[in-house]
A and B are shown apart, each in its own frame.
Chain A
Amino acid sequence: MTKPTEKLELFEVFVRSKRGLDHKHVGSLHAEDHEQALEYARDCYTRRSEGVSLWVVKSSDICSSQEDDADCFYDPNDDKPYRHATYYVLPDPVNNM
């Protein structure tokens, strides 16, 4: 027998904790569709005043970077210091950088 959740979609849940702040990823859940996912997100993640707004996104719709790409994605280019803002000496009048 297949588990009921195997037939359901996986959704990622994002909660905005208060107006003006960004939505933050808080976890994931299973649901039949977006509408149900939103209801479960409300029940699983916002029952204790955690948020004022919810987003649910199908996990399959998220395109993520791969472990194998770490080298070329995140190499800080330390051998090319001029690519970092701190390499440049600022003139004195610019004091708020």
Chain B
Amino acid sequence: MSDAIKAATLEYATRLGDDSVVLGHRISEWVSYGPFLEEDIAYGNVSLDYIGRARMFYTYAAELANDGRSEDDFAYMRSDREYRNLLLMEMPKGDFAYSQVRQLFADVYYTLVLPELEKSKDETLAAIASKAIKETKYHLRRSRDWVLRLGDGTEESHTRTQKAVDALWGYTHEMFDMDETEQLLADNGIGVDVSRLRDQWHKMVSDILTEATLTVPEDAWAVRGGRTGYHTENLGHMLTEMQIVHRSHPGCQW
């Protein structure tokens, strides 16, 4: 592995780990606040899937970095400006409709990204993708189900779900951006060229929203910056809570 590729792969594994840990933490905020016990347990399981995924990406990042850092250092010892997750993942959990719409956007995205990543020439990334595909199949089944129920449910659930779609739409464009790092990896058969997945994502999401009697928004605005460390104000607050125990008791074991 050349130095340039190695550095890019480290950055890439970190980005994918950041997406997973941030979304996983946001979902975990529903634990004990779910609408009813069964859903509480089910959504908590989804959170654990994402946190497990983050661990695999961070463990690989730490291995590539080879500078004594562990997966915990990646998760707990970096500030918001060092995080490289997509903005969509860090938005606060909002109401249940908002979380399920975000989940649908993310699940459809991973449904398209992971099978491509599974073809990666990088065996570790391919193996992580392979495991995650199975989880995502189930996640999408859930979030699709919820968006259909809520969109085509009561007047209140429809209104809230449409509001969530409109509020989150502008954060989805960033998911398909490529920069030099990701282009280098895509050209070398290691990373996924996400720019080519946009139309499929739009089609799949539009079909589900339409079936749920919701309106697909116009592409009127877009917010970007997660991949370069320019986040919304929400991430800092989230990391404060997520990192406090580790930072207060460095190296603590139990």
**A interface list, Cβ under 8 A from B:** 3-5, 8, 29-32, 35-36, 39-40, 42-44, 47
Q: Is B37 an interface residue (CB 8 A)?
A: yes
A16 to B177 CA separation, bound complex (whole angstroms): 46
Q: B145: CB under 8 A from chain A?
A: yes
Residues of chain A within 8 A (CB-CB) of B41 are: 40, 43-44
The 3 closest A-B pairs by CB, nearest first: A43-B42, A40-B38, A4-B36
Size of the B side of the interface (Cβ < 8 Å), in residues, is: 13
Given the known interface contacts A32-B149, A47-B45, the answer about A39 and B142 at a Cβ–Cβ threshold of 8 Å is yes
Question: How many A-B residue pairs lie within 8 Å, measured between CB atoms?
Answer: 31
**In the bound complex, do residue B36 and residue A8 qualify as a contact, i.e. CB atoms below 8 Å apart?**
yes
A-side contacts of B149, CB under 8 Å: 32
The verdict on B131 contacting chain A, using a C-beta distance below 8 Å, is no
Q: Which of B1-43 contact A (CB under 8 A)?
A: 35-39, 41-42
Interface residue B141 (Cβ < 8 Å from any Cβ of A): yes
- Residue among B38, B45, B138, B142 making CB contact with A29, cutoff 8 Å: B38
- Evaluate contact between A36 and B37: CB separation under 8 angstroms: no
The answer to whether B141 and A39 have CB atoms under 8 Å apart is yes
Q: Report the minimum CB–CB distance from B131 to chain A (whole Å).
A: 15
A32-B149, A35-B145 known; A40-B35 Cβ under 8 A: no
Q: Which residues of B have CB within 8 Å of A8?
A: 36
Known: A42-B138, A44-B38; 18 extra A-B contacts, CB below 8 A, are A4-B35, A5-B36, A5-B37, A8-B36, A30-B36, A30-B37, A35-B145, A36-B145, A39-B42, A39-B141, A39-B142, A39-B145, A40-B38, A43-B38, A43-B41, A43-B42, A44-B41, A44-B42
Chain B residues in 8 Å Cβ range of A44: 38, 41-42
B residues near A36, Cβ cutoff 8 Å:
145
The contact sample of 26 A-B pairs, CB cut-off 8 A, is: A3-B36, A4-B35, A4-B36, A5-B36, A5-B37, A8-B36, A29-B38, A30-B37, A30-B38, A31-B38, A32-B149, A39-B141, A39-B142, A39-B145, A40-B38, A40-B39, A40-B41, A40-B42, A42-B138, A43-B38, A43-B42, A43-B45, A44-B38, A44-B41, A44-B42, A47-B45
